[in-house]
């Protein structure tokens, strides 16, 4: 399957530079015998490229605060708060009004509720972000559901009505989108699940670009399992080959997308942990084999790594030049210490915002390859992997 996918990918490599070749079927009178067809240049193309470059700017990455209301409730419960709209608003206000955040953060992924919310003083959260030169983004998928015919795997829903929703999100101020699907190594993964993930991501990406949103392409390869790092590399290469094949099939403009891959690591339950240098070696190998240089930014997810691990691994990947901006799109790895510092108390807001800046600055330095773990707290070194974690 992996070889077949790579052959398909190579066959479509011309699309990476803006063109595809199609031969006329015998007997067809609709077209000339041979025709060169360019990847579409829609009305938003220039804006998409500009937005993607802005997000993929040196020393900056993405703050992911797009947890669903249910998942946000889990985070709030960890500090003894009820899952109410007012509490969700208070926490997200703390994050989005942090002074100086734009020095280290270029984009923020929001949940739909947050996109339409304001601060307690009546200022739109979108405006708060723009004041810090941070691009507002929006989670557009509708979550995972069981995939019939698979090995107990899932697929991501949300394509129905996506075009109209995306147009509304654009009007509200969003300029990029996120769609997360997952691949499970312990479950196979099955060919069906890989194809479904790749096709869904490609359709979403095409629809997003048609409506002015830069799509973040995120097939998360879950940390669950006891497999070695070599197995993760094998699966990651297979998944990304399929993803880029279908992105090309759907005429997606590569210069106007961002990727959100998992780092190539051993399974969380594997007996041997990998060093940051080893993780960087395997992850960059996968990217070099599968991702065209036209893609402006690789914004890694943390996937249950500790705050310090996620930063160290990113730093290791930036010790030499890469053809893409290699950065971060972290949720828990930016928020964990913030939540525990805040505790839902107004008098702790300033300290919690300082904790966010500390983590954001650490990852900014890692994006530049200049991070040192000296002085990291013990709290930042605690892993956050949860087996079978659901969002």
Catalytic (active-site) positions: 218, 260
Dist CA 136 CA 381 (whole Å): 29
Q: What's the chain look like in SS3? A: CHHHHHHHHHHCHHHHHCEEEEECCCCCCCCCCEEEEECCCCCCHHHHHHHHHHHCCCCCEEEEECCCHHHHHHHHHCCCCCCCHHHHHHHHHHHHCCCCHHHCEEEEEECHHHHCCECCCCCEHHHHHHHCCCEEEEECCCCEEECCCCCCCEEECCCCCHHHHHHHHHHHCCCEEEEEEEECCCCCCCHHHHHHHHHHHHHHHHHHHHCCCEEEEEEEECCCCCCCHHHHHHHHHHHHHHHHHHHHHCCCCHHHCEECCCCCCCCCCCCCCCCHHHHHHHHHHHHHHHCCCCCCEEEECCCCCCHHHHHHHHHHHCCCCCCCEEEEEECHHHHHHHHHHHCCCHHHHHHHHHHHHHHHHHHHHHHCCCCCCCCCCCHHHCCCCCCCCCC
The contacts of residue 316 (CB under 8 Å, 6+ apart) are 276, 277, 279, 280
């Amino acid at each position: 399957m992996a070889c077949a996918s790579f052959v398909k990918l190579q066959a479509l490599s011309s699309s990476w530079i803006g063109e595809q070749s199609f031969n006329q079927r015998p007997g067809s009178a609709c077209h000339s015998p041979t025709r060169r067809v360019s990847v579409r240049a829609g009305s938003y193309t220039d804006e998409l490229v500009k937005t993607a470059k802005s997000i993929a700017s040196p020393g900056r990455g993405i703050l992911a605060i797009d947890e669903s209301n249910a998942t946000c409730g889990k985070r709030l419960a960890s500090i003894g708060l009820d899952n109410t709209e007012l509490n969700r608003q208070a926490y997200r206000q703390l994050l989005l009004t942090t002074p100086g955040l734009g020095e280290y953060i270029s984009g923020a992924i929001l949940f739909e509720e947050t996109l339409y919310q304001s601060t307690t003083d009546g200022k739109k959260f979108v405006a708060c972000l723009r004041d810090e030169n941070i691009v507002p983004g929006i989670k557009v998928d509708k979550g995972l559901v069981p995939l019939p015919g698979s090995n107990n795997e899932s697929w991501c829903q949300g394509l129905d009505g996506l075009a109209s929703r995306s147009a509304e999100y654009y009007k509200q101020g969003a300029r990029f989108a996120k769609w997360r699907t997952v691949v499970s190594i312990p479950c196979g993964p099955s060919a069906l699940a890989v194809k479904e993930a790749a096709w869904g991501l490609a359709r979403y990406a095409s629809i997003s670009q048609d409506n002015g949103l830069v799509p973040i392409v995120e097939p998360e390869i879950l940390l669950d399992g006891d497999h070695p790092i070599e197995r993760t590399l094998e699966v990651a290469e297979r998944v990304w080959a399929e993803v880029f094949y279908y992105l090309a099939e759907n005429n997606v403009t590569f210069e106007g997308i961002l990727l959100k891959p998992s780092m190539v690591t051993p399974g969380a339950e594997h007996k041997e942990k990998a060093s940051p240098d080893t993780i960087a070696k395997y992850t960059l190998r996968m990217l070099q084999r599968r991702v065209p240089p036209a893609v402006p930014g690789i914004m890694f997810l943390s996937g249950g790594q500790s705050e310090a691990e996620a930063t160290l691994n990113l730093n290791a990947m930036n010790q030499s030049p890469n053809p893409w901006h290699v950065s971060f799109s972290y949720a828990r790895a930016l928020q964990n210490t913030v939540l525990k510092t805040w505790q839902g108390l107004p008098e702790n807001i300033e300290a919690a915002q300082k904790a966010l800046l500390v983590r954001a600055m650490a990852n900014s330095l890692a994006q530049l390859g200049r991070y040192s773990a000296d002085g990291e707290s013990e709290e930042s070194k605690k892993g956050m992997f949860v087996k079978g974690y659901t969002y």
